[in-house]
Structures are given as structure tokens and as C-alpha cells.
Chains A and B, each alone.
Chain A
């Protein structure tokens, strides 16, 4: 199947009948809102180690859910038996849950209004669905990658993996919206491992996951896998011989393959309104970017402009309509360094009607038919400077610094103040020139200090759409995919740790 239409093996499923039955029952029970979501999510994982296919597994989540607002409380029930009797039973169960919850609900739930979309379809742009490519062909590519990596003298072992997802959703609600959607994403990855005299280390691909099809691995204009596989063994060899960094304060030039993750943690999560209002306090945490700081918080320097976007082509969080039937949008989160927007779902939109014209900006998402839609992250991206500098120009502005490429370890506190990141490789910059790699580097900062220390963002030619498959949030826990675009950027006076020193070694 190519990206030309909805998958007929999904459209042949009885979601319309089930949805009609569930919503009719919910209406009978007198709910103020009901929505029905039917999903089929197909996954395939391939793992290769040292030229041998270690494991291949396919998984498919298929089921449906009924969500209601009844007597001012949410109720939710999900199941997997595809009968109208079960759809009716789940509507009953969702209402029963709402009745239990209503006894303890002091703030009645209401949701922001949204136009009705009557039977609309949205399909993400891709050419070849990776799940339709023979598994043996895909395994052959990964095996070839690890074999080629292992030809490097410094490489003792090599691994590769490929995650693929096809997500189909049907949504219907009592207001009359019905949406049917399909999207595809994939995450190819590889890593080479080696040992030096008294150390071992690894070097991983910096290729981002993408909302694309199998063409991502075959079209060199989309990503040049061959070039990176050729470079990684030498990069690892250099890393194994590199000196350990001297802890201290350095200027940093950060490549998009690393900066996307810093954006994700320190801007993406911090500007989720549910967190800012306390609705994630027990688990994922709250945010320093509280609502009273809207339009006043100097989040970063004047060159900082960040957008939320669920419409960008090939974004992992891109879709036509969210899991509450809201048409997706693009909007400003930080403009000229100042906090100006948040990510919203319909409940949050109702709480803060002064935002986005009283409408959700389309950030509701559930990762499976068995989970409740919650406010999840849009593609949150740092904008480049038109006519901005190249990466080389940014490096040339640094007298004593470090150039950071690729992501590795990441951690941030529950209000998104204090973070610490590592990377794949770090190059010393001396007098505007790259000198060579250093090891054992982590950078640590407070979010607003860090973004206010950003002196320059690169031009559009330095901008890359990075991202992740595995963003966790909520209770019960859910996983979401999200992209973050950014240019190479220059930061002044950032704290660098030596991880060996930190370990006491």
C-alpha cells in the first residue's frame, strides 16, 4: 500500500456501526458530551546485532473507546470485542465511571467549542508504507549497515534497529464530527561500539525519526545513510582516543541533532497548559512557565522564536484532526524571546477562553484505543533566522567553546528548570576553529538562563526536523511521537561537567 489512500483493511472494519451504537447509548443516558474513538495501530520492530537479525516482531493494537462528560465528570471505557453489544456496554461503563467520579468532582468539566467536521479524511504524506515492505528486505538493509560499520578498526560491535508505525483512527462525537485518518512514521537507528585502552564508548546515528515512508531509507536526498555509515567508525575511533573535558564554563554551538531534545524538554513540556495548571503534578510534573507569566516571561533572548505546529509536513505529531475532533493548527509559543502561547486541548481551552479565541489548538492525543486522550505535545520548533549564519559562521564566533552533535542522555526536573544533557560527540572550539573531539561531556543549565544565553540562531539551511518516538506522559502512562525543528545555535557561558568527575572516578 502506498500513501494514496486509506488502508482498505482498516476501512473494512465496523467502526461506524460501533460508533453509532455507542453514541446513541450515551445520548440515551443523558450525557453532555460523548466521543467514540476506534483505532488500529500497527507496529513492527526489527533488531540486528553484528550482522545477525536478533528479533523481528509485529504488533497491532485494535480496539475502541467511549468517553463521556456526565454530571460534570469524565468517564471512559475501552475494549477490544468488536460488537455493537460491546459498544453499548462500554457506553454504560463510561457513564458508570463518570458517576463515581462526579461524587468527587468539584470543578465541573466543560470543553471548548469546535466546528463540526462531517466525515472528513486526512492521510499523512508518504510514498511507501514501510510495513508493506517485505521484512527480509528491511532486515537485509540493517544487516548490511552493521556489517559495514564493523569494517571499521575501532568497531567491536554494531547494532541497528527499525521501528515502524501505521496509525489509523476513526473519531466521532455527539456534535456530529466524524474523522478518519491514517499516518505512517519510522525510526531507523544504528550504533557502533568499541573499546580503547581503558575505556569503551559508542557512536550512534544522528538521523531523526520521520513521518515518512520507506523512501526515507532509499532516497539519499532525504537522508544520506551511506555517508553517515562511512563516517561513524572513524568518528568512534577519534572519540575513543579523545581527551577528557576540563569541567568549566564554555560557549556552545549546538547542532540540531542535539538541540531538538533540549527544546523538547525545556520548551515543549514547559508550555503544555495542563502542566502549567497542575494537571500533571503527580507524575510528569508542572511547569515554571505558569499562566500568570503569559506575555511577560522573558523565556529567552530576542532571537528566540518558537512555534507549536501540528500541521508541518512529515512531523511526528502532525495530523489533520486531534483526538477530540479539533482541526490542527500552528501558532506562536515564544515570540522575540517572550512566552506568548501554550498547547491546549478542549478542556484547557475552555478554562482559558482568552487563549486562541477560546478554541483548542488541537493538542489532544491518545497513544492507543485503550487510553484516554490528554493534552500532548505539538511539533514544537525553534525558528531559524532568515539570512542567518551557517554552522561554520557560528563556530567562527567562538573563542573557547564546544560544538555538540547528536543526543544521548537527557534529564530535567519536574518544573523544567534544571536540565543535564550529553551527546554523541563534542568538539573543542578554539579561536573559531574545530580542534578535535573531547570526551565525558555533559552540559547543565537552568532553562531560562540557557535560552537567554542564546546569542544567535543559524539560517534556514542549518534547520533540521528532529524528534522522538518515545515521549512519556500521563497516568496511565502514554507514549507519543513528536518532532522538533531547529537551526544550529550559539549559546554563551554554559556549564560543562566532566562525567567521570561526577562519577567520582
Chain B
């Protein structure tokens, strides 16, 4: 990752776009958020590159606030913009929308402050050269795979988003967020077996295409013995990536307002939330922390629109470590200042990372396998959707490798399954947990939420609802 401008032809700096927007607005207050994004990706299938590209985007959001005796109305307009004229147009539209709007229910004082120490710095950037070492190794991996009768499919993406947030209250905040991930699916030539390796990275210096190909080959080797098993409840080891798949849903459905109004698994029957209730085993801790090593993310709120879990008035609000579940007890839900006042609870906005940690969790997936007499080891989950909000029942499928564990060893590959389970229930039912490690959700990591750290969990009675024929 470099820290120079992504394009010599960028007409204005992001800071000047913010300053111009704030100065141009005729509203009572105004917030301008500029996101400068560069990205580069490689995609492959059937042992050859397919679609590949580099992208540069500059998005400007202008939020205008108009006060009246009835309250504060807002207007939020976003658009691609790189010139003063484009920002002016966005400001005029936002100001007009705010003037035409009705009082906002989430009205609050805007966050105040000064310019952060790094405000004047240029945006970070990436380009196709982030793959200077990875790409040749990937070409070599294609050769290995072809020679061994394996087929590789995959994708790598690296992006650097620099956010600049400024307001008429003097706030000037900047955050650089590099996000990268890699994933490779391997299949045998007859397409009857499948394996997957994936993870998150910040700069691709730690991603080795040849090592990925070797891991895929090892997992496909586990499938040389095929075992067909029926649906049912199985002693099942969820690796960290599958736990991340499920915990993200537990997090995203943790809106305080919806819970307070009686519509989620975090609701008390009648009215109110389950904050203060024990909802998981003792020793279970689910938290977010913008400064968590390896998962660093924005330490302040950015919100371009208001909704159940966001408020434009909260822009710039500092974020810190937030415990969602502490020692098994539900301690916080996703709060805006508006919902916090409604629920009489602390302000705990969403943070862009998530960590599940179990007291006493130790060892790795391999250790959980070694301690299992007979059970299943998953690779990852897919197409996870909420079935019932009352229990947070989720359905989804296993994908790219379900393995039979017998007497502490992997002895073959099993068919895929559809599961029906609640992640909240799982936090009460697991029998063993490994140490927490960086993880990557197969379902949500690519486009939405790649900053997770989770343990592997062993569930004694995981509900495999039916068999999937997918291979």
C-alpha cells in the first residue's frame, strides 16, 4: 500500500472537497463525507485468469441540517464527485432536501471537534502491482494444479478506502482502511470433490498462492474416501471461518430499537431488550474493538442515512471497544444515540469488526479434531438466511468440504448438508472451543464484513436438516 494520490489527474484533494462542501452549504449545519477508493482484483476459473480489473472511485456524501421550531430536518445526497462543481451540486441538492424535509426523529447535537492530526495526509491507494509477487506464484499454482488433475477457481481483491469526514462544527476526521481477501476453490478433474481456502489480508505480503494450492490439494486428498451420511444431528466442528459466518448474523440482527420493540431474538416478551440476561454460556465474550490487532477499523461513526441502526446525527462519534456479550451475558445492542435514549441504555454504535472469544479456549481446529471420537468437520457455510427472527433461526448449507472425523482423525469426505440453527443457541450448546484466531466469513467476508476473529467450536448436536447433493 502506498500513500500517494491514486491518480495524477484527480482534480481536487479529498480535503478540499470536504472544505468546499462545508463552506458552500447554506443549511444550518452540514456534514461532508468523502470516500476515496482504489482497488485491484484478479479472478480465475478452470486454471486460467478470467475477469480482472482496477477501479478508482470518489464518493461524496453531503448531509444538510435545517433547524426550525418543529425540530431538525435533514437531507442526504451522495454521488461520484471529483470537482468543485460536482460537490456544489450535491450540496445544493442536500440543502434543498433538508429544507423540504420533515423533522427527524433522531435529532441530536452534531459531534464537535477539531482537525485530526492526520487530516492533511493524502489518501492511501493500491493498484495492480499489489500482486507483483502473488500473480507469478498463482501462474505457477495453475501449472501444478493442471499437472495433478485439479482445477482452481478463485479471486483476490485489495482495496484501500480513505474516508474524510468534516462538518460545520469543526470536526475533521480521516481514516485509511486497507481491506484484502483471497479465496481459492479447488476441484478434482471429475468435479466430484471440492475444497476451499480463504482469508483476509491487509496488503497481500502474507498471501502465498503456492501454499494455498498445496492446502487445497491436501483437502482434496482427504476426499479420496467418500462417505454418504443422512441428515440428522451430528457432533460437528465448526472451524473459525464457519463460526464467523454465523456470528456476523448474530451481530447484524442485534439492533437495539428492533429488539426494544419486540421483534428479535434479543427481545424480552412484552417489551424491552434482553440486555442483562444470560444468553450464552459463561465465559463467552463477543465484542468489537476498532483497535484490535490485525482487525483495525474506523474509530468513528460514518452514516450517510438514518435507520434503525444508524443516525446521520451520530457522524463522527468516537467508537471504542464494545462488549456485546460478556461472560455469557448480553451487555449491549447496536445503538444510535436516538435508540439509546429510547431504550435507556448506553450509546453503542456498530463497529466494523467482531471478535468471539471463549474463556479457556485453547488449541486449534486440529486439536478439536484430535479430541473427537466421531463427528463432522466443516469447511465453511453458504447462503445463510434468517428463517425466524424470534429464535434467529438461520438456514444455509455446508460447502466445499465436510469431513468425517473418527477417533481423532479425518477419515473421509462426507456429502453436503442444509443446516437449520440459531447462532445464539450455538453459544449455549457448544462443548469445546479453540483459541480465537483471525477468521474470514465465506458468506459475508468478500463484500460486507471481513474483519473477524473467532475460535473453532464443537457442537454436539448440530442440526443437519437435509442432504445437499451439491459437490
Query: How far, in whole Å, are A182 and B57 apart by their CA atoms in the complex?
Result: 23
Query: How far, in whole Å, are A60 and B79 apart by their CA atoms in the complex?
Result: 4
Q: Is the CB of B395 within 8 A of A411?
A: yes
Residues of A within 8 A of B196 (CB): 282
When C-beta atoms are compared, the residue in chain A nearest to B50 turns out to be A279
Interface bracket on B: 35 or more
Whether, in the assembled complex, B10 has its beta carbon less than 8 Å from a beta carbon of chain A, the answer is yes
Query: How far, in whole Å, are A54 and B138 apart by their CA atoms in the complex?
Result: 48
Residues of B within 8 A of A193 (CB): 261-263
The one of A104, A200, A283, A372 that contacts B262, using a Cβ cutoff of 8 Å: A200
**Counting chain B CB atoms within 10 Å of each CB, which of A81, A198, A288, A500 scores highest?**
A81
Q: Is the CB of A414 within 8 A of B187?
A: no
The one of A82, A103, A157, A418 that contacts B468, using a Cβ cutoff of 8 Å: A418
A375 CB to closest chain B CB (Å) equals: 11
Whether, in the assembled complex, A53 has its beta carbon less than 8 Å from a beta carbon of chain B, the answer is yes
Query: How far, in whole Å, are A415 and B267 apart by their CA atoms in the complex?
Result: 36
Q: Is the CB of B101 within 8 A of A502?
A: no
Residues of A within 8 A of B15 (CB): none
1/0 contact trace for A86-104 toward B, CB 8 Å?
Answer: 1001000110111011011
Whether, in the assembled complex, A139 has its beta carbon less than 8 Å from a beta carbon of chain B, the answer is yes
Q: Is the CB of A417 within 8 A of B470?
A: yes
Query: How far, in whole Å, are A69 and B50 apart by their CA atoms in the complex?
Result: 11
State whether A134 and B463 are in contact (beta carbons under 8 Å apart), knowing that A282-B154, A282-B155, A413-B418 are contacts in the complex.
no
Whether, in the assembled complex, A171 has its beta carbon less than 8 Å from a beta carbon of chain B, the answer is no
Whether, in the assembled complex, B58 has its beta carbon less than 8 Å from a beta carbon of chain A, the answer is yes
Query: How far, in whole Å, are A289 and B122 apart by their CA atoms in the complex?
Result: 50
Q: Is the CB of B7 within 8 A of A475?
A: no
Q: Is the CB of A62 within 8 A of B79?
A: yes
Count contacts between A and B, CB distance < 8 Å: 286
The one of B7, B39, B51 that contacts A81, using a Cβ cutoff of 8 Å: B7
Query: How far, in whole Å, are A145 and B396 apart by their CA atoms in the complex?
Result: 34
1/0 contact trace for B4-45 toward A, CB 8 Å?
Answer: 000101110000000000000000000000000001111111
1/0 contact trace for A422-461 toward B, CB 8 Å?
Answer: 1000000000000000001010101000000000000000
**Counting chain B CB atoms within 10 Å of each CB, which of A78, A107, A200, A502 scores highest?**
A502
Whether, in the assembled complex, A116 has its beta carbon less than 8 Å from a beta carbon of chain B, the answer is no
Q: Is the CB of B7 within 8 A of A499?
A: no
Whether, in the assembled complex, B80 has its beta carbon less than 8 Å from a beta carbon of chain A, the answer is yes
Which residues of A, 218-261, contact B by the 8 Å Cβ criterion? none
Residues of A within 8 A of B78 (CB): 57-60
Whether, in the assembled complex, B385 has its beta carbon less than 8 Å from a beta carbon of chain A, the answer is yes
Whether, in the assembled complex, B207 has its beta carbon less than 8 Å from a beta carbon of chain A, the answer is no
Residues of A within 8 A of B135 (CB): 100, 103-104
Q: Is the CB of B56 within 8 A of A79?
A: yes
Query: How far, in whole Å, are A432 and B96 apart by their CA atoms in the complex?
Result: 57
Residues of A within 8 A of B469 (CB): 288, 413, 415, 417-418, 446
Query: How far, in whole Å, are A156 and B416 apart by their CA atoms in the complex?
Result: 41
1/0 contact trace for B75-100 toward A, CB 8 Å?
Answer: 11111111000000000010001001
Query: How far, in whole Å, are A296 and B259 apart by their CA atoms in the complex?
Result: 51
B54 CB to closest chain A CB (Å) equals: 5
1/0 contact trace for B421-440 toward A, CB 8 Å?
Answer: 11001000000000000000
Query: How far, in whole Å, are A195 and B258 apart by their CA atoms in the complex?
Result: 13
State whether A444 and B446 are in contact (beta carbons under 8 Å apart), knowing that A57-B78, A96-B128 are contacts in the complex.
no
Residues of B within 8 A of A79 (CB): 7, 55-57
When C-beta atoms are compared, the residue in chain B nearest to A83 turns out to be B9
Q: Is the CB of B387 within 8 A of A413?
A: no
Q: Is the CB of A136 within 8 A of B47?
A: no
Hey, which bits of chain A sit against chain B, CB under 8 A?
45, 47, 49, 52-63, 73-83, 85-86, 89, 93-94, 96-98, 100-101, 103-107, 134-136, 139, 156-157, 193, 195, 198-200, 202, 277-283, 285-286, 288, 369-372, 374, 409-418, 420, 422, 440, 442, 444, 446, 472, 475-477, 495, 497, 499-500, 502-505
Hey, which bits of chain B sit against chain A, CB under 8 A?
7, 9-11, 39-58, 74-82, 93, 97, 100-102, 104-106, 128, 131, 135-136, 138-139, 142, 146, 151, 153-155, 157, 183-185, 187, 191, 196, 261-263, 267, 269, 304-308, 310, 312, 382-391, 393, 395-397, 399, 416, 418, 420-422, 425, 446-447, 463, 465-471
Can you list 24 A-B contacts (CB < 8 A)? A56-B101, A62-B80, A73-B49, A74-B51, A78-B53, A79-B56, A104-B142, A106-B48, A135-B100, A136-B101, A139-B102, A156-B261, A202-B263, A279-B45, A281-B45, A370-B55, A411-B397, A413-B382, A413-B416, A415-B471, A417-B469, A475-B446, A476-B446, A499-B420
Other 18 A-B pairs with CB < 8 A, given A369-B80, A499-B388: A55-B76, A55-B307, A57-B77, A59-B78, A86-B7, A96-B128, A103-B139, A104-B138, A105-B49, A135-B97, A156-B262, A200-B262, A282-B185, A411-B384, A413-B382, A417-B469, A418-B418, A472-B447
